[in-house]
Chain A
Amino acid sequence: MPGKLKVKIVAGRHLPVMDRASDLTDAFVEVKFGNTTFKTDVYNKSLNPQWNSEWFKFEVDDEDLQDEPLQITVLDHDTYSANDAIGKVYIDIDPLLYSEAATVISGWFPIYDTIHGIRGEINVVVKVDLFNDLNRFRQSSCGVKFFCTTSIPKCYQAVIIHGFVEELVVNEDPEYQWIDRIRTPRASNEARQRLISLMSGELQRKIGLKVLEMRGNAVVGYLQCFDLEGESGLVVRAIGTACTLDKLSSTAAFLPACNSPSKEMKEIPFNEDPNPNTHSSGPSTPLKNQTYSFSPSKSYSRQSSSSDTDLSLTPKTGMGSGSAGKEGGPFKALLRQQTQSALEQREFPFFTLTAFPPGFLVHVGGVVSARSVKLLDRIHNPDEPETRDAWWAEIRQEIKSHAKALGCHAVVGYSESTSICEEVCILSASGTAAVLNPRFLQDGTVEGCLEPRQEENLPAGCGFCHIPYDELNMPFPAHLTYCYSCRKQKVPDVLFTTIDLPTDATVIGKGCLIQARLCRLKKKAQAEANATAISNLLPFMEYEVHTQLMNKLKLKGMNALFGLRIQITVGENMLMGLASATGVYLTALPMPGGIQIAGKTPNDGSYEQHISHMQKKINDTIAKNKELYEINPPEIPEEIIGSPIPEPRQRSRLLRSQSESSDEVIELDLSHGKKDAFVLEIDDTDAMEDVHSLLTDVPPPSGFYSCNTEIMPGINNWTSEIQMFTSVRVSRLSNINLTNQTLNKNFNDLCENLLKSLYFKLRSMIPCCLCHVNFTVSLPEDELIQVTVTAVAITFDKHQAVQTTKTHVEKSLQRASTDNEELLQFPLELCTDSLASHPFSPAKEHLESASSNSGIPAAQRATSIDYSSFADRCNSWIELIKLKAQTIRRGSIKTTVSVEKASPLTEGHFRQRSAPACANSTVGVVKMTPLSFIPGAKITKYLGIINMFFIRETTSLREEGGVSGFLHAFIAEVFAMVRAHVAALGGNAVVSYIMKQCVFMENPNKNQAQCLINVSGDAVIFVRESELEIISAQQPVASCQPACSGGEIAT
């Protein structure tokens, strides 16, 4: 009996009138969890009932706690006929299942009905009492934290990044069951909502189990998707990155991040070679000795055998590069070997993260992607979803081998997606091949994390650009030059990646959103023939998308793409490709050449004139763009760089791996031949169109920037105003005899107009930047194209923006509050040290004698000794040790503990403080953003994952304002429900928010429409930096709380 769920129904408000005669409602509430149902009394004749119910108690397994949603139904009591349902609230109680998140869910929830939308609100309080379960073979995975954020969450640090976790569950879609013919649309929708809620709960639990198996405690970059396969069923699948996270001491989080930014900028470089005084001051601790020689064999053996003695040695690998300074060939080999060993054991060395702790990413190879066309068949046995598993396994295998071909052992920024039309399904996976630093991938490398900067002697900001593959044995023809930053290593001429721009990367100027858009007509066909037709088209589409991206990148005068996401959508009679990425100019890569146009028929004079005219236009555009994005790289004489390395010149090569089923996997070839100019041959009207379309992309109006990554390269002085939005457009193609050209043009216009509309709508925020612009395309019907965009507009300070061409130091600031936290730990702990030296911390006393200003680092090292000695003693109980070690670690650093203890208190302070601020409006503001951070604020707590699925249907489309009115209202309602859940968890923002699905179907003739929306994100509490200063002033008082709570924390 591991859990008791308690629910109290307090009140309702704004209920709809259910009794026409009295214009009132006799409402009561059913509370259901699993198979148990409780009811409140009927509150007669009121639209604002006050039930104030007793606590309804459900005694349940924690497995159920994870799977089942709490279901609250509000009904209108009717004496003579059946009670009418007003609406429902589903509450995911998962956030209550781990200790660090929310402790209670309490607040007003919109009462939602799939036919009528939101109908009033209900005030509910939910609590969970969890009993500890020591059963090792349990089926639940309570306590594993989930984050949608694709980087290490801000108030945590990664101890170990374990790697890829995936799972999928399948079921029959209730919409397609026989019973659907006789039940109401409402019943069918509710069955679907409930099923998906159940399935995602189950999925999360199963993934959690895998994480526990890997000895992790969290999943980062958790991405869950639904495949509505129609007749053949419903698939819910998820991928993520298992990690062991450690909560950062809360004081760090409470310290104002940058009281004086300029000062901190200067401080960062110092941290790269830590203060030598710190090291010499405490010679008593052996582990302080930093000058280890690198011993690959040892670390290798450590990987293959998990012998306990090695555990104590692990810090060595973390500080391995005593010989650093230059990243020589042998070192690279060693590193690779080492990483390889770390990753070898994993089936799929994939990471869904797009941003990484400093030093994690060593080299980036390039984008790897794989697609496969499948014919859907009925899933016969939902408990054995083998076919779907096998499909994905196949694709992942492809990705893995592509990465290997690029000389990389890992894939980062990994994601998977599907596009389904009738019975054909395209599965896609993509990521960025990379070489990783093994430090974070191993057990017991805590020390490495505490001293993250030891080995960062590599020339800053260009390491990741260096090619990971062997230049003599290149996987594809690429144009290599010596790195423009360090001049030592080779770099490619362009770099495409799916990740965010690394914080330490140096860029020139600003970035911009680059999109490639493409349509291809396809004959209508059935089954096999259809699948074959699609797979035949795919490589051409990939190639063209890539060419377009390359052209546009050159046109912008940039040399690298980040956050690349290529979406291929399949429809009845066409395929659509949409690629979005953020272009930047990386200092480490060579300056991009221009675009040269070559005509086919040189004899014709007027033609030639036309060509030269075009050429001029293109050159002008490039020059203009360079000015617009402030790209002005220092001129470097060619001799210094050396002549380009000769290479086989092949126009393009498609690495295609074919399995006999209709699979098609393409490796994008990044090379386009000549260095200086990129030649576009105009040989027919098609090509002409292409050139024209290149030039039609209008830059955003002045004061506006856009990107699809987390932050805009080149802008770092964000102000606090943010506006997240979703915009949807559905266009009907009017032409009956469509050609590829008209189709392309239509699609291009659709996207461009949409962007223009956004710029116009948000003009009051100028200067601002659209970040994380996420386009999705779907083809709901024959002639309909649906484009959905979610993004966030963030304002920034124009005056400071002038100095943005500064170095990476500045840039690393904006992004890396993890960085900051790490940096801040030292000064902070030093200051709390004096406070903590009261009688409550006897364990510290002997250290204090040795510590002058370096007391805390000593303390930390001391604990690590404890740790290893513990490990020595009880090596057979590794898990137990880990647990204990953690306990001891926390226990012995009293300052840290005391601060942790103090944190809820300060939070309490804050909440009290913030309450009156928003007193005049009764609804607290909840911010939503697709980014992992909130500008000008600090996230102090993660409250749990939000993952919600809604269906809305109408049979009175016209009355609700047509399709636009219907969908507008629905999306607004979805936002409202997300905000209400976050507020009930005690949060004030959702970060990493994403609308994963927005499936819209209409039947205007029948006056009907239906829409399914799936959203997710992380609920958090944030504190404005301005408020933080006040709180940190209170901090001394707070941390004087007795620090005797080590035991309490260590459970």
Chain B
Amino acid sequence: MTNELDIFVGNTTLIDEDVYRLWLDGYSVNDAVGLRVRSGILEQTGATAGVLQSDTMDHYRTFHMLERLLHTPPKLLHQLVFQIPPSRQALLIERYYAFDEAFVREVLGKKLSKGTKKDLDDISTKTGVTLKSCRRQFDNFKRVFKVVEEMRGSLAGNIQQHFLLSDRLARDYAAVVFFANNRFETGKKKLQYLTFGDLAFCAELMIQNWTPGAVDSQVDDMDVDLDKEFLQDLKELKVLVADKDLLDLHKSLVCTALRGKLSVFPEMEANFKNLSRGLVNIASKLTHTKDVRDLFVDLVEKFIEPCRSDRWPLNDVRLFLNQYSASVHSLDGFRHQALWDRYMVTLRSCLLRMYHD
């Protein structure tokens, strides 16, 4: 005797959080049943394997039907077929759009295209995230990207409005979209130590300060692209390293202020010109798309690695960067104070965040 048909429909749709997680993680029904058995649920409830199988199937079917709605979360709120309490709706959406750290680090900054999708197999093997789950996460990125790509206004706000995500998750998605759009390289070996949190933090600052919306919220408030004009202007900063007097003056100002305050003062003094050149050159090259992509690589190579090799403590890095950007205001010959601040405020925070092992 076999059950040809076996369903359970509640007036309030039953959502089992554990099964939902298994489903999101891409397990097949049988695997999920196996995992549930191992969790000891049978002993707790006195159920049989058959009951568990039927229950799991049922939940999977429900999730499958809900998936279509989850693709456009506002639809989940307005639809009439599944009666789900608002808190549960939020949970469904939030979990559906949640992603694995390991996975997101693999695709962050990659083009969300068919080509990348083909690589999901490898990513799955590498990260241990099931292919099914990889696909869902990738499709989520792509879907969100497509919806907000051309939209005006706050990127995170748009995401939140169209996908009803929590504030935190919406900001993470904003970072994913921002990275994907600007194609920042994040996969290099020397960047591996950076967490998604680090990169998302940087992305948020860049969105706040380096996009057209940052200066003028009236026109063309686009959060996805970097402000072209700003990048163009950054060339002007070059004078800080090109003009030898200016460079020396800058150095002496920083050294005077920091003498006795840094444990790595001699190293700093010795390296100042290199570091300054590195930071300014990064700025002046950002007009080239290629260099924009390599922004994080350059930051690590030109600043973080030298400091790290000299064993600068984080606090010294902070003191140095503060003094380094502040001292520019005392350089009388330098006229681009606002530009410098726009660049340096963001960069300083990014570097500090990225400065760890």
Given contacts A118-B81, A756-B48, A972-B65, contact A724 B3 (CB under 8 A): no
Q: B5 to A920, Cβ gap below 8 A?
A: no
> In the bound complex, how far is the Cα of B79 from the Cα of A922, in angstroms?
9
Given known contacts A723-B14, A1000-B5, what 11 new A-B pairs fall within 8 Å (CB)?
A725-B8, A731-B4, A746-B1, A753-B50, A758-B8, A920-B86, A922-B78, A923-B80, A967-B5, A972-B65, A980-B80
Is the beta-carbon distance between B47 and A760 smaller than 8 angstroms?
yes
Shortest beta-carbon distance, A1019 to chain B, in Å? 14
> Within the complex, which residue of B9, B50, B51, B54 is in contact with A972, where a contact is CB–CB below 8 Å?
B9
Chain B residues with Cβ under 8 A from A620's Cβ? none
A13 touches B78 (CB 8 A): yes
Q: For the complex, what is the distance from the CA of A727 to the CA of B81, rounded to whole Å?
A: 17
* 29 pairs of residues in contact across A and B, judged by CB atoms under 8 Å: A14-B75, A108-B80, A723-B14, A725-B8, A725-B9, A726-B8, A727-B8, A729-B3, A730-B3, A730-B4, A731-B4, A732-B2, A734-B1, A756-B48, A757-B8, A763-B45, A923-B77, A923-B80, A963-B4, A965-B61, A967-B5, A968-B62, A968-B65, A972-B9, A972-B13, A972-B65, A975-B81, A979-B80, A979-B83
A723 in contact with B6 given A14-B79, A756-B48, A968-B61 (CB within 8 Å): no
Q: Does A973 belong to the interface (CB within 8 Å)?
A: yes
Is the C-beta of A1021 less than 8 angstroms from some C-beta in chain B?
no
Candidates B7, B47, B48, B55; contact of A964 at CB < 8 Å: B7
Q: Which of B7, B61, B86 contacts A727 (CB 8 A)?
A: B7
Q: Which residues from B are CB-within-8-Å of A973?
A: 81
Q: Which 10 A-B pairs have the closest CB atoms?
A: A730-B5, A725-B10, A921-B86, A724-B11, A971-B9, A928-B11, A976-B80, A968-B7, A727-B8, A963-B5
B61 to A964, Cβ gap below 8 A? yes
Are B77 and A922 in contact (CB-based, < 8 A)? yes
Q: Which residue of B lies closest to A756 (CB)?
A: B51
B-contacting residues, A1-49, CB 8 Å? 13-14
List A residues 510-568 near B (Cβ within 8 Å): none
State the Cβ distance, B57 to closest chain A Cβ, in Å: 7
A972 to B7, CA, bound (A): 11
With A965-B61, A975-B83, A976-B81 in contact, is A723–B45 under 8 Å at CB?
no
Complex contact A723–B78 (CB within 8 A): no
Q: How far apart are the CA atoms of A608 and B356 in the complex, in Å?
A: 81
Residues of A within 8 A of B45 (CB): 701, 760, 763
B218 within 8 A of A: no
Question: Is there contact, CB below 8 Å, between A972 and B82?
Answer: yes
CA distance A926 to B48 in the complex (A): 33
CA of A926 to CA of B75 in the docked complex: distance in angstroms?
18
- Kindly state the separation between the CA atoms of A687 and B51 in the bound complex, as whole angstroms: 29
Q: How far is the CB of B49 from chain A (nearest CB, A)?
A: 11
Which residues A747-801 have CB closer than 8 A to chain B? 749-750, 753, 756-761, 763, 784, 786
**Contact A118 to B80, CB < 8 A, known contacts A749-B1, A757-B51:** yes
Hey, which chain B residues are within 8 Å of A967, CB to CB? Answer: 5, 7
Binary interface encoding of chain B residues 50-85 relative to chain A, with 1 for a CB under 8 A from any of its CBs, else 0: 111011011001101100000000010111111101
Complex alpha-carbon distance, A730 and B52, angstroms: 18
Task: Mark B75-104 against chain A: 1 for CB-CB distance below 8 A, else 0.
Answer: 101111111011001000000000000000
Within the complex, the shortest CB–CB distance from B15 to chain A, in Å, comes to 10
Query: Smallest CB–CB gap between B296 and chain A, Å?
Result: 39
Q: A118-B80, A922-B78 given as contacts; is B1 within 8 A of A761 (CB)?
A: no
Is A404 close to B, CB under 8 A?
Answer: no
- Please tell me if the beta carbons of A927 and B11 are within 8 angstroms of each other in the complex: yes
Known: A110-B81, A757-B51, A920-B86. A975 touches B9 (CB 8 A): yes
A971 to B82, CA, bound (A): 11
Q: How many residue pairs, one in A and one in B, have C-beta atoms under 8 Å apart?
A: 136
Set of chain B residues within 8 Å of A843, measured between Cβ atoms: none
The answer to the question of B46 belonging to the interface, with a C-beta cut-off of 8 Å to chain A, is yes
Q: Are B86 and A729 in contact (CB under 8 A)?
A: no
B309 at the interface (CB under 8 A from A): no
Query: Does B12 lie at the interface of the complex (its beta carbon under 8 Å from any beta carbon of A)?
Result: yes
Q: Which of B8, B48, B54, B65 contacts A969 (CB 8 A)?
A: B65
Residues of B within 8 A of A927 (CB): 11
A964 touches B8 (CB 8 A): no
Interface contact A723-B10, CB-CB below 8 Å? yes
| Given A729-B6, A734-B1, A964-B57: A761 in contact with B86 (beta carbons within 8 A) | no
Flag if B78 contacts A964 (CB, 8 Å): no
What chain B residues lie within 8 Å of A1037 (beta carbons)?
A: none
B46 (CB) vs chain A CBs: closest residue: A701
Q: What chain A residues lie within 8 Å of B81 (beta carbons)?
A: 110, 118, 972-973, 975-976
For residue A733, CB closer than 8 A to chain B, the reply is yes
Count of B residues near A, CB < 8 Å? 40
Measured CB to CB, the residues of A under 8 A from B are 13-14, 108, 110, 118, 121, 701, 723-735, 746, 749-750, 753, 756-761, 763, 784, 786, 920-923, 925-928, 961, 963-965, 967-969, 971-973, 975-976, 979-980, 1000
Which of chain B's residues have a CB closer than 8 A to the CB of A761? 8, 14, 55, 58
Could you give, for residues 1-33 of chain B, a 1 whenever the CB lies within 8 Å of some chain A CB and a 0 otherwise?
111111111111110000000000000000000
| Smallest Cβ-Cβ distance to A700: which chain B residue | B46
Question: Which of A723, A753, A964 is B51 in contact with, Cβ under 8 Å?
Answer: A753
How far apart sit A964 and B9, CA to CA, in the bound complex (Å)?
11
B1 is contacted by which of A750, A926, A928 (Cβ under 8 Å)? A750
Q: Within the complex, what minimum Cβ distance (angstroms) separates B109 from chain A?
A: 31
Closest residue to A745 on the B side, CB-wise? B1
* Contact yes or no, A760 B80, CB < 8 A: no
- Chain B residues lying within 8 Å of A922, measured Cβ to Cβ, are 77-78
Residues of A within 8 A of B51 (CB): 753, 756-757, 760
Task: With CB as the reference atom, state the residue of chain A lying closest to B2.
Answer: A732
Shortest Cβ gap from A739 to chain B (Å): 14
- How far, in whole Å, are A735 and B6 apart by their CA atoms in the complex? 20
Kindly report which residue of chain A lies nearest to residue B42, judged by CB atoms. A760
Specify the chain B residue showing the minimal Cβ separation from A962: B5
Q: Which residues of B are found within 8 Å of A121, using beta-carbon distances?
A: 78, 80
Q: Across the interface, name the chain B residue whose C-beta is closest to A121.
A: B80
Do residues B78 and A971 form an inter-chain contact, with CB atoms below 8 A?
Answer: no
Contact A723 B11 (CB under 8 A): yes
- Chain A min CB distance to B324 (Å): 48
Shortest Cβ distance from B66 into chain A, in angstroms? Answer: 10
Nearest-neighbour CB distance to chain B for A296, whole angstroms, equals 51
Which residues of chain B are within 8 angstroms of A728 by Cβ–Cβ distance? 5-7
- From residue A780, how far is it (CB to closest CB) to chain B in Å? 10
Interface centre among B7, B47, B78, by most chain A C-beta atoms within 10 angstroms, is B7
Contact status A14-B78, CB under 8 Å: yes
Give complex CA distance A925, B50 in Å.
33
A723 close to B65 (CB less than 8 A)? no
A731 and B1 contact, Cβ closer than 8 Å, known pairs A110-B81, A969-B65, A972-B65: yes
Bound Cα distance from A971 to B6, whole angstroms = 13
Residue among B4, B5, B13, B47 with most chain A CB within 10 A: B5
Q: How far is the CB of A1017 from chain B (nearest CB, A)?
A: 11
A723 and B12: CB pair below 8 A?
yes
Q: Are B65 and A760 in contact (CB under 8 A)?
A: no
For the complex formed, measure the closest distance between the CB of A89 and the CB atoms of chain B, giving whole angstroms: 12
Residue in chain B with minimal CB distance to A733: B1
Give a binary string over B102-133; 1 marks a CB under 8 Å from any A CB, 0 the rest. Answer: 00000000000000000000000000000000
Do B11 and A961 have beta carbons less than 8 Å apart?
no
A730–B1 CA distance with the chains assembled, in angstroms: 10
Given contacts A730-B4, A964-B6, A975-B9, whether A921 and B77 have CB atoms under 8 Å apart is: yes
Contacts of B58 in A (CB 8 A): 761, 968
For B82, the chain A residues whose CB sits under 8 A away are 972, 976
Q: How far is the CA of A979 from the CA of B75 in the complex (A)?
A: 17
Cβ distance A531 to chain B, nearest Cβ, rounded Å: 29
Interfacial chain B residues near A975, Cβ < 8 Å: 9, 11, 81, 83
Closest Cβ of chain B to A1003, distance in Å, is 13
User: Which single residue of chain A is at the shortest CB-CB distance from B8?
Assistant: A727
User: Is B5 within 8 A of A964, CB to CB?
Assistant: yes
B13 neighbours in A (Cβ, 8 Å)? 972
